[in-house]
Amino acid sequence: MGAVILVALATGALAQTRRPTPHEALNTATGPVRAALDALSPSESERRAVEDLLQQSEAAAADLVAAEHRRLPDIAAARRRRLEFLARACTARVEALRAEAAADQAERRALEAEERRRVARGAQERAGERRLAASRGEPVSTWRLPPPAVTADGGVSP
């Protein structure tokens, strides 16, 4: 008789599943959002940019846990969809921030290349002017007349 009671108690204990704590349930519910964010390996500034979405996901996770506890499957399903949406929104925001940073960097490189091209063109024009001046010879200026030729007797030749 004692063995039968022990078997019945052991079977009942095995049949029961351990319910997760509220903290574990919240971690499980926010898992898709955290996984999506962790997959991107965001920088600190990117994490700050999605902080509002993380707060929304925590609120939706709390609603999900409460709906599951109250056995409200429609609300729980809606909160799961909301968490999936927030995971996609986090991914999209981080990718948008990265695309914007890449565009800024490309624009900066283009401006630097344009500046280098402008400087090179100026140097090329100055070199062309010097080459043209060298091919023409020394220009004659009325301000710089050659010195008068002096004759052997000390006079100036015409």
b/e 88-103 (16+ beta carbons within 10 angstroms → b): ebbbebbeebeeeeee
SS3 150: strand
Is the model's pLDDT at 15 over the cut of 90?
no
- Give the separation between CA 43 and CA 128, rounded to whole angstroms: 51
Is the model's pLDDT at 100 over the cut of 90?
yes
DSSP E strands, the chain: none
Q: pLDDT above 90 covers what percent of the chain? A: 63
Cβ–Cβ < 8 Å for 91, 36: yes
Looking at every residue in the chain, the average pLDDT score rounds to 86
* Domain definitions of the chain by residue range: 18-103
Range with the lowest mean pLDDT among 27-36, 105-114, 146-155? 146-155
Residue matched to tokens 């986090």: 90
